[in-house]
């Protein structure tokens, strides 16, 4: 009997923990009048960011928080396509940083003012030592080569197919990865011999991953866009969201440049 009571108590405790941990989520989702009633809590700023620029954004978030001790910037990195879909479905994001213009246009009208904040180009990423001796884009047609691309519809995948089309190469693809980060991970582990990825991303993990130039050179120019987002109930973007975008476009430029990204 005592045992049973103890069980009931521990279940009750679990329910309490679950309820308490749900509060921040509820706060996020409300993001408006409901939140104002919570005393002295500034809503965290949720930044949906393309997986390929997640690393410099960590530094940007830290820099932005430095002047705002009560503000918490939360990064949600994923494929821009996935993020756009979640934003259109009402995700509680305040800022969207996209790796292409396409996803930025599919936010259900929540991206109010998309602006280019960085540029990049594409390289062939190979594991350290380039074990498969990839020298040019034409090598990506070799059947024995383990080649990965991002999936169609994901910006890095669409860019990669443009690069291949520009070079007139029919690539022998072994996997279509859901985002740039998971593709890079498989090159880094050596399970893929090659992948088409962003130059800045490859530079960030050198020398574990090396960059082979796209040859012949591609005309593909990658433009990263950032925009503050309307709240899910279509209210104007928060002050913090607007300020974060200004920070990225202004003082953040040095962080982006040191991450290997080009200026807009």
Structure tokens at 20: 């308490």
- Decide: is 14 part of the binding site for another protein (CB under 8 A): no
- Decide: is 178 part of the binding site for another protein (CB under 8 A): yes
Instruction: Measure the CA–CA gap between 188 and 168, rounded to whole angstroms.
Output: 27
Of the candidates 174, 203, 247, 249, which one interacts with another protein according to CB under 8 A? 174
- Residue 40: which residues within 8 A CB-CB, separation 6 or more? none
- Decide: is 74 part of the binding site for another protein (CB under 8 A): no
- Decide: is 77 part of the binding site for another protein (CB under 8 A): no
| Cα-Cα end-to-end distance for the chain | 70
List the interface residues with another protein, window 140-169 (CB under 8 A): 146, 148, 151-154
Helix, coil or strand: residue 108: coil
Of the candidates 81, 93, 104, 123, which one interacts with another protein according to CB under 8 A? 81
- Decide: is 110 part of the binding site for another protein (CB under 8 A): no
Of the candidates 59, 112, 175, 264, which one interacts with another protein according to CB under 8 A? 175
Instruction: Measure the CA–CA gap between 74 and 58, rounded to whole angstroms.
Output: 9
List the interface residues with another protein, window 199-258 (CB under 8 A): none
- Decide: is 173 part of the binding site for another protein (CB under 8 A): yes
Instruction: Measure the CA–CA gap between 96 and 212, rounded to whole angstroms.
Output: 30
**Cα dihedral 91/49/179/157 (nearest 10):** 110
Q: Minimum distance from CB of 29 to another protein (Å)?
A: 17
- Decide: is 177 part of the binding site for another protein (CB under 8 A): yes
């Amino acid at each position: 009997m005592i045992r049973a009571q103890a069980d009931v108590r521990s279940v009750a405790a679990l329910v309490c923990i679950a309820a308490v941990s749900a509060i921040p989520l509820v706060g996020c989702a409300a993001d408006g009048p409901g939140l104002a009633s919570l005393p002295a809590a500034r809503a965290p700023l949720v930044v949906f960011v393309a997986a390929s620029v997640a690393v410099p954004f960590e530094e940007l978030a830290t820099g932005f928080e430095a002047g705002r001790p009560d503000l918490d910037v939360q990064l949600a990195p994923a494929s821009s396509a996935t993020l756009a879909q979640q934003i259109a479905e009402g995700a509680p994001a305040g800022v969207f940083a996209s790796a292409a213009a396409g996803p930025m246009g599919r936010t259900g009208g929540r991206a109010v003012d998309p602006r280019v904040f960085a540029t990049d180009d594409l390289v062939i990423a190979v594991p350290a030592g380039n074990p498969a001796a990839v020298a040019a884009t034409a090598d990506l047609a070799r059947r024995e080569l383990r080649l990965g691309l991002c999936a169609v519809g994901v910006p890095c995948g669409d860019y990669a197919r443009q690069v291949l089309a520009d070079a007139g190469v029919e690539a022998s693809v072994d996997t279509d990865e859901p985002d740039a980060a998971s593709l890079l991970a498989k090159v880094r582990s050596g399970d893929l011999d090659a992948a088409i990825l962003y130059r800045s991303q490859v530079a960030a993990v050198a020398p574990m991953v090396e960059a082979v130039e796209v040859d012949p050179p591609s005309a593909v120019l990658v433009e990263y866009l950032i925009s503050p987002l309307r709240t899910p109930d279509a209210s104007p973007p928060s002050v913090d969201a607007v300020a974060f975008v200004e920070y990225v476009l202004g003082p953040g430029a040095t962080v982006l440049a040191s991450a290997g990204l080009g200026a807009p």
